[in-house]
């Protein structure tokens, strides 16, 4: 059986909703295996390229820079989770980058950790899934240009996402853990953020079109130097608002802020709940973000039926698939992978027990 056929078979079983726990017999040969296994939903002509900086489990390329150089516009990079960061790199072409999840639930977990990502001209329509990212920023060569239709899903960004020079248009971030998003005060910028948790400085310097919904803000600052935003079905927990003007707040909840008033300042809105404990299942006041927290709402929470659609507000409202595992929803996850025979004769079989499931979502 060819490697590609084996991967396709695994994905087919997962796609049908089954858990695959089989012993797989492979002819003894060198395999380039990624924990991502397979992806679907991208252009048929695009190439999938494996990247791994592990010498024990090599990919086609060992560095992001080499893989990006080799890739054609529209290709997909399957970036293997390892114990070592892939470091910083510049992205100047449209690519899909898929990691193994930022808090994946598996035996002996590793993660796809990326350093500082610098956006270059041509990065429009790039997509990121299932990665730990230090920061994303533009550079002076992009002054006056637009970076269009960037997409981030199931990522954790430890530092900032910032536009100094370019304008972000049609930016989408969802199901992610974020610290600070700076949109650069460009009046023609546009962004939509949904089902995210902000655990740092929140969103700042937005003068264009900004939609924020089903998010939790629990850092020191929530929105600052923001104008003309639409904010709905969100929870603001601890911290404070900065300067927010000409914005609309609907169906939001605040608790333990310096000033719990919603909408803040001279902004408008309706159906907000000011100064009421959201009653998370497990998240004490003034505690920083943690993977062991539980941001679901208890049965008696005032936010349980407070959303615009009558459902709950916060991370798990509407059709949310947010998960603190950060596992990419377009790839199966290898939970356990064990070679069961210690010695392999010439022309013998390599026996493997592998457990693979659908990604977690809550």
Q: What secondary structure does DSSP assign to 70-137, as a single string?
A: HPPTT-EEEE--BSS----EEE-S--EEE-S-SS--SSS--B-EEEEEEE-TT-TT-EEES-EEEEEE
Going by C-beta distance under 8 Å and a sequence separation of 6 or more, which residues neighbour residue 302?
253, 273, 276, 277, 278, 279
Q: Residue 287's pLDDT is what?
A: 65
pTM, full prediction: 0.84
Q: Residue 336's pLDDT is what?
A: 66
Report the C-alpha gap between 260 and 253 in whole angstroms.
Answer: 9
Alpha-carbon separation of residue 144 from 63, 96, 141, 190, 339 (angstroms)? 31, 25, 9, 15, 54
Q: Residue 73's pLDDT is what?
A: 97
| Residue of 357, 360, 328, 361 whose CA lies nearest to 11 | 357
Report the C-alpha gap between 228 and 337 in whole angstroms.
Answer: 50
Q: Residue 344's pLDDT is what?
A: 83
| Residue of 26, 67, 73 whose CA lies nearest to 49 | 67
Query: By the 8 A CB rule, do 154 and 98 touch?
Result: no
pLDDT of the chain, 362 residues: tens digit per residue: 333 323 333 332 332 233 333 333 333 233 333 333 333 344 445 799 999 999 988 999 999 999 999 999 999 999 999 999 999 999 999 999 999 888 887 777 899 999 999 999 999 999 999 999 999 999 999 999 999 999 999 999 999 999 999 999 999 999 999 999 999 999 999 999 999 999 999 999 999 999 999 999 998 899 999 999 999 999 999 999 999 999 999 999 999 999 999 999 999 999 999 999 999 998 766 567 778 888 999 999 999 999 999 999 999 998 888 887 777 776 666 766 677 877 888 888 888 877 776 676 65
Q: Residue 181's pLDDT is what?
A: 97
| Residue of 264, 275, 278, 265 whose CA lies nearest to 307 | 278
Query: Tokens at residue 246, please?
Result: 């000409």
Q: Give DSSP secondary structure letters for 11-43.
A: HHHHHTT--EEEEEEEESS-----TT----SS-
CB atoms within 10 A of CB 229: 23
Q: Is 65 exposed, middle or buried (0-12, 13-18, 19+ CB in 10 A)?
A: middle
Report the C-alpha gap between 206 and 235 in whole angstroms.
Answer: 19
Residue 26: CA atoms inside 13 Å, Cβ hemisphere, count?
20
Query: Tokens at residue 250, please?
Result: 């609907």
Q: Residue 81's pLDDT is what?
A: 93
Query: By the 8 A CB rule, do 142 and 91 touch?
Result: no
Q: Is 5 exposed, middle or buried (0-12, 13-18, 19+ CB in 10 A)?
A: exposed
| Residue of 231, 235, 256, 260 whose CA lies nearest to 245 | 231
Q: Residue 269's pLDDT is what?
A: 98
Query: Tokens at residue 113, please?
Result: 């950790």
Q: Residue 23's pLDDT is what?
A: 35
Q: Residue 322's pLDDT is what?
A: 86
Query: By the 8 A CB rule, do 49 and 75 touch?
Result: yes
């Amino acid at each position: 059986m060819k490697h590609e056929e084996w991967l396709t078979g695994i994905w087919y079983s997962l796609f049908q909703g089954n858990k695959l726990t089989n012993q797989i017999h492979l002819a003894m040969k060198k395999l380039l295996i990624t924990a991502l296994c397979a992806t679907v939903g991208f252009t048929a002509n695009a190439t999938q390229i494996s990247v791994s900086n592990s010498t024990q489990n090599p990919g086609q390329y060992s560095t992001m820079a080499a893989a990006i150089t080799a890739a054609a516009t529209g290709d997909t990079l399957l970036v293997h989770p390892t114990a070592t960061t892939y470091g910083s790199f510049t992205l100047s072409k449209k690519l899909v980058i898929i990691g193994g999840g930022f808090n994946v639930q598996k035996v002996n977990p590793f993660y796809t950790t990326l350093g500082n990502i610098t956006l270059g001209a041509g990065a429009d329509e790039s997509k990121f899934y299932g990665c730990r990212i230090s920061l994303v920023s533009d550079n002076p060569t992009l002054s006056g240009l637009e970076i269009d239709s960037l997409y981030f899903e199931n990522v954790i960004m430890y530092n900032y996402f910032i536009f100094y020079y370019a304008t972000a248009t049609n930016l989408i971030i969802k199901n992610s853990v974020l610290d600070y998003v700076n949109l650069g005060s460009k009046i023609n910028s546009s962004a939509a953020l949904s089902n995210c948790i902000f655990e740092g400085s929140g969103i700042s310097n937005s003068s264009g079109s900004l939609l924020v919904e089903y998010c939790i803000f629990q850092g020191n600052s929530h929105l600052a130097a923001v104008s003309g935003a639409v904010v709905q079905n969100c929870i603001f927990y601890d911290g404070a608002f900065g300067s927010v003007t000409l914005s609309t707040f609907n169906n939001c909840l605040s608790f333990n802020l310096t000033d719990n008033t919603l909408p803040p300042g001279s902004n408008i809105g309706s159906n907000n709940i000011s100064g009421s404990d959201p009653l998370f299942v497990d998240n004490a006041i003034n505690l920083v973000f943690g993977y062991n927290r539980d941001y679901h709402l208890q049965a008696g929470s005032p936010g349980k039926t407070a959303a615009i659609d009558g459902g709950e507000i916060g991370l798990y409202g509407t059709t949310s698939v947010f998960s603190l595992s950060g596992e990419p929803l377009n790839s199966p996850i290898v939970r356990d992978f064990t070679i069961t025979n210690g010695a392999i004769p010439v022309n013998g079989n390599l026996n493997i027990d592998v457990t693979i499931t659908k990604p977690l979502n809550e």
